[in-house]
Amino acid sequence: MAQFLVAGWIQMIIAVIALAGIFLGAISFMYPDHSIELYQLLMHIFNWDVRPINYYGELKRTKIFGAVMFVISVAILIILFRPELVVPAS
């Protein structure tokens, strides 16, 4: 019984991480400039000055990676809660 409780906790932790990935991926896709500014702000806390060399190229890459993060996070949730949709039953 304790083994199933641990598996449930791990499943919930992975689900929370996947939901955060969905949120951050959507934000990065819809507002790539805000995502870049957030990264610059976080690096400023550590006394780093980070600026993209090609700002428009960075916006495009951030948008692409945001979409990829969103799709991967949705796939993780599907595999986590509905594995029969992905892996056929034996």
In a domain, 50, yes or no: yes
In a domain, 66, yes or no: yes
Q: Report the length, in residues, of the chain.
A: 90
Residue 31 contacts residue 80 (beta carbons within 8 Å)? no
Say how many domains are in the chain: 1
Residue 27 contacts residue 73 (beta carbons within 8 Å)? no
Query: In terms of residue numbers, what domain contains 44?
Result: 29-90
- Paired tokens of 90: 């034996």
pTM across the whole model: 0.80
In a domain, 6, yes or no: no
pLDDT values of the chain reduced to their tens digit, one per residue, 90 residues: 444 454 778 889 999 999 999 999 999 999 999 999 999 999 999 999 999 899 999 999 999 999 999 999 999 998 888 877 777 766
In a domain, 36, yes or no: yes
In a domain, 43, yes or no: yes
